[in-house]
Amino acid sequence: MSRKTLWKPLLLMVALIALGLVFGGCAKRPELEITTARTAVTEANTPDAQTYAPDALRRVREAEQALDRELAVQDKKFVLFRKYEEAKRLAAEVQTKGNEAKSEAAAKKAEAMAEATRLIQEAKALLLEVQGMMEKAPRGKGTALDLQVLKEDLASVESTLGEADMSFSAEKYLDAQKQAKLAMNTANSVKTELTAAMDAKKR
């Protein structure tokens, strides 16, 4: 066997090793980046995000799905032909979108809290106003008011505001907003009836 023949397998082995070194970095799964991306998804997927930033949370999940598809494509390839640069980019995108979802959820929750506070305060002020009107409401013959019904309506307003306070304490700010609006609608209906009766009495 000639020296030339002996060198061929050795040269082939060296070439393969060199090839492995060149592509090794690209062929290695970016486990740290993937783990960081998964953590970002978990941290973003909170009840607050589901309530206040559902669209942002959907974008996080879509980004994670894109990452999973890219990883599946590369994992199926022969090790020397795998390239994970795109997977790294997608993992970073997942992390970015996860952080965006958390920030958006926090901001919108704060907005919802402020709006719930405003509505509850307005509803309570309106209730006090209407209760004052009830004391001055015309009574006796010649009045079309059913004061008992109106009192029951105001009791319902108080009950609904109590529910709004409980929702607020539980940080269910959207529920608190709905309850405060319902209370105001009922109180305004009573106010309208009282105003009409008082105006009629003056004539």
72 falls within a domain: yes
187 falls within a domain: yes
Among 93, 108, 123, the domain-final residue is 108
3-class SS of residue 139:
coil
The verdict on 100 and 29 lying in the same domain is yes
C-alpha dihedral, 146 to 150 to 153 to 155, nearest 10°: -120
Among 88, 108, 128, the domain-final residue is 108
Question: How many angstroms separate the CA atoms of 154 and 3, rounded?
Answer: 106
pLDDT in tens, 5-54: 555 554 455 445 545 544 545 579 999 999 999 999 999 999 999 999 99
Q: Please report which residue ranges of the chain form alpha helices under DSSP H.
A: 3-27, 31-44, 47-52, 54-75, 85-135, 147-169, 173-202
The verdict on 39 and 66 lying in the same domain is yes
15 falls within a domain: no
The verdict on 83 and 127 lying in the same domain is no
Q: In terms of residue numbers, what domain contains 67? A: 25-108
Per-residue exposure over 71-95, b if at least 16 CB sit within 10 Å of its own CB, e if not: beebeeeeeeebebeebbebbbbbb
pLDDT in tens, 142-185: 555 678 889 999 999 999 999 999 999 999 999 999 999 999 99
Residue 134 reports pLDDT greater than 50: yes
User: For the chain, how many structural domains are there in total?
Assistant: 2
The verdict on 185 and 123 lying in the same domain is yes
Among 66, 93, 108, the domain-final residue is 108
- Average pLDDT, rounded, for the chain: 88
Q: Which residue has the higher pLDDT, 78 or 197?
A: 78
The verdict on 116 and 159 lying in the same domain is yes
pLDDT in tens, 41-95: 999 999 999 999 999 999 999 999 999 999 999 999 998 899 999 999 999 999 9
